[in-house]
Chains A and B, each alone.
Chain A
């Protein structure tokens, strides 16, 4: 199946700084790339996604960039706030399977 790698596994930033999380995938047929945020003990929530026909998508402080040639996509969070602290997962669905990255625990220090 798809191999999705995510880096870094943990990330600490000062409030107001930017955070970047990167994922690489192996299946060139993947064409949809969502990012999820999961707070402790809760279900993952979709925060942003991108299709392969665009290179970047932005929604307020959150953006996702995609490089299909290199098979990687990144989540960018600007002006981080303490409530951004959570675990973030990327995913790269392929066929009828849905695989998540290993997760990044983001801590925003007030």
Chain B
């Protein structure tokens, strides 16, 4: 089946630094990728929808200058947390939707997640 990878799986950084998280679809092309944030024991909160070759669509309340999303190719989207602070510590998960799907089916293929800890 479709595989989505994320890198890194776990990162610890100092406050004020920037962290880049990569999301790759390994065996299919993804026109749309989604970025979620998940706090412990809570649901996945949609942060933004990323379409290949265009600007990401951010959800209300998500700072686009804080969370930079780039979807440069059909297999790669990146999320950069700029000037990270402890409150940005969270579990970030991406998902990808295959290009061949024209209607919603089971096309949400999730990455394994990245645990970010900001000291």
A103 and B95 alpha carbons, distance in the complex (Å) = 18
Q: B112–A32 contact, CB under 8 A?
A: no
User: Judging by beta carbons under 8 Å apart, are B46 and A99 in contact?
Assistant: yes
The listed residue with most B CB atoms (<10 A of its CB), out of A43, A93, A102, A105, is A43
Q: Which of A32, A34, A105 contacts B41 (CB 8 A)?
A: A105
Q: Are A98 and B108 in contact (CB under 8 A)?
A: yes
Known contacts A1-B59, A101-B43; A32/B105 CB under 8 A: yes
Q: Are B46 and A97 closer than 8 Å at their CB atoms?
A: yes
Check A44–B106 contact: CB distance below 8 A: no
Whether A43 lies near B111 (C-beta < 8 A) is yes
A92 nearest in chain B by CB position:
B104
Least CB distance from A97 to B in Å reads: 6
User: Min CB distance, B10 to chain A, in Å?
Assistant: 10
A90 to chain B, nearest CB (A): 10
In the complex, residue of chain B having the shortest beta-carbon distance to the beta carbon of A90 = B43
6 residue pairs of the A-B complex, CB under 8 angstroms, read A32-B103, A34-B106, A96-B49, A96-B51, A98-B108, A103-B42
Q: 10 nearest interchain CB pairs?
A: A32-B104, A43-B110, A103-B43, A102-B43, A100-B44, A93-B104, A46-B106, A43-B112, A100-B43, A44-B110
